[in-house]
Structure 1
Amino acid sequence: MATEVRVLSHAVDQAGDVLDRVRPDQLGLRTPCADWELAELVDHLVSTPGRFLTMMRGEQPDWGAAPPHVAESWGPVFRVAGDDLVHAWHQAEDPPVPADFQVAELALHTWDVASAIGYPVDRLDPEIAERGLAFLRANLTDDNRAPVFGAEVEPPAGAGPYERLAAFAGRQV
Structure 2
Amino acid sequence: MGDEVRVLSRAIDQAGDVLDHVHADHLGRPTPCRDWDVAALIDHLVAQPGHFLTMMRGGEPDFSATPPHVAESWGPVFRVAGDDLLHHWHEHEGDAPVPADWQIAELATHTWDVATAIGYPVDRLDPEVAERGLAFMRANLTDDNRGEAFAAEVATDGGPYERLAAFAGRAV
Question: How does the TM-score come out when normalised to structure 1?
Answer: 0.97
Counterpart position of 1:168: 167
Q: Which amino acid aligns with 1:141?
A: T
Q: Distance in 1 between matches of 2:9 and 2:81?
A: 12
Q: Distance in 2 between matches of 1:52 and 1:11?
A: 14
Which aligned segments of 4 or more residues in structure 1 are displaced greater than 4 angstroms?
Answer: none
Counterpart position of 1:36: 36
Q: Distance in 1 between matches of 2:43 and 2:111?
A: 12
Matched residue SS, 2:144: coil
Range that drifts further, 132-141 or 1-10: 1-10
Q: Deviations over 1:39-75 (max 9, x none)?
A: 0000000111001101101111111110000000000
Per-residue deviation, 1:15: 0.2
Per-residue deviation, 1:147: 1.5
Per-residue deviation, 1:97: 1.1
Counterpart position of 2:69: 69
Number of matched pairs: 171
Q: Which amino acid aligns with 2:49?
A: P
Counterpart position of 2:119: 118
* Structure 2: runs of 5+ lacking an equivalent: none
* Structure 1: runs of 5+ lacking an equivalent: none
Q: Which amino acid aligns with 1:144?
A: N
Q: Is 1:104 the counterpart of 2:90 in the alignment?
A: no
Q: Deviations over 1:110-169 (max 9, x none)?
A: 0000000000000000000000000000000000001111111111x3x00000000000
Q: Distance in 2 between matches of 1:81 and 1:145?
A: 27
Identity between Structure 1 and Structure 2 (%): 75
Aligned residues: CA RMSD: 0.7
Q: Distance in 1 between matches of 2:118 and 2:8?
A: 23
Counterpart position of 1:154: 155
Per-residue deviation, 1:95: 1.2
Q: Is 1:89 the counterpart of 2:110 in the alignment?
A: no
Counterpart position of 1:135: 136
Q: Distance in 1 between matches of 2:150 and 2:60?
A: 19
Counterpart position of 1:57: 57
